[in-house]
Amino acid sequence: MVETGVVFGRFQIFHLKQMEYVLAAKMRCNKLYIGITHSDIVSFAATSPLDEHGTTRRDNPMTYFERSEMIRNALLDFGVKRKEFEIIPFPISQPDLILQYAPRDAVYFMSLCSEWDEEKYQILQGLGLNIEVLWRRSGEEKGISGTEIRRLIARNKPWQQHVPKSVATYIESHGIDMRIRELNYFLESC
């Protein structure tokens, strides 16, 4: 077990497959930093053509704060002690800023499922960081994505079974489900 680990993602609906990734990393370190990419889609917009979802409001309906709260609540519900994790911005689109937020001496845990994941791996490697690949998965093995869950919400289809219970509660109690429906309705009707 290492002292410090880092995982990162957009987490535009923190779902159970992402929880699997976060918990797999947490089992390998004492303290886990959870980086949220595209914490602000204006200041930290996508710069890679492979980063298909890092620029639009439709793909990024939740704020950094909302994602941070959802992740925190879900980890606590899953029994992770609050002192064992921190949630931080992770500006993957501006790699020169990553180490302003994340520790250099950590192990960076990744799941590689796409060309964009491979590019992120290269970015971290270019920074000289210690990377451990938890698994490589094809699109089918990856499971459901946040994009698919947002589509289910937009279409008023069942989606709650794909997210931790605390995340479903947060989304509904903060009107994020309605925001997703409004963004999708507006964009599809234009």
Q: Where are the domains of the chain?
A: 2-189
With residue 165 as reference, give the H or E element that holds it: helix 165-173
| Residues with Cβ within 8 Å of residue 130, at least 6 apart in sequence | 105, 106, 107, 108
Cα 60 from Cα 39, distance rounded (Å) = 9
pTM: predicted TM-score of the whole model, two decimal places:
0.91
Statement: residue 50 has pLDDT above 80: no
Name which of 34, 14, 10, 62 is nearest 176 in CA terms.
62
* Residue scoring higher pLDDT (47 or 188): 47
Residue 3: both structure tokens together: 């002292």
What are the residue ranges of helices labelled H in 27-103?
64-77, 98-101
Strands 2-9 and 107-112: parallel
pLDDT class of 171 with cuts at 50, 70, 90: very high
For the chain, give the percent of residues with pLDDT over 90: 77
| Residues with Cβ within 8 Å of residue 76, at least 6 apart in sequence | 82, 166
Name which of 8, 3, 9, 2 is nearest 102 in CA terms.
8
User: Residue 48: its pLDDT value, please?
Assistant: 64
User: Residue 153: its pLDDT value, please?
Assistant: 96
**77-130: per-residue pLDDT in tens?**
999 999 999 999 999 999 999 999 999 999 999 999 989 899 999 999 999 999
Cα 92 from Cα 43, distance rounded (Å) = 12
Residue 106: both structure tokens together: 């950590």
Q: Average pLDDT over the chain, rounded to whole?
A: 91
Q: How many helices (H) and strands (E) does the chain have?
A: 8, 5
**134-146: per-residue pLDDT in tens?**
999 876 777 899 9
Statement: residue 160 has pLDDT above 50: yes
User: Residue 163: its pLDDT value, please?
Assistant: 98
Q: Which CATH superfamily is domain 2-189 in?
A: HUPs (3.40.50.620)
* Residue scoring higher pLDDT (52 or 155): 155
pLDDT class of 189 with cuts at 50, 70, 90: very low
Residue 91: both structure tokens together: 């500006």
Residue 56: both structure tokens together: 């639009």
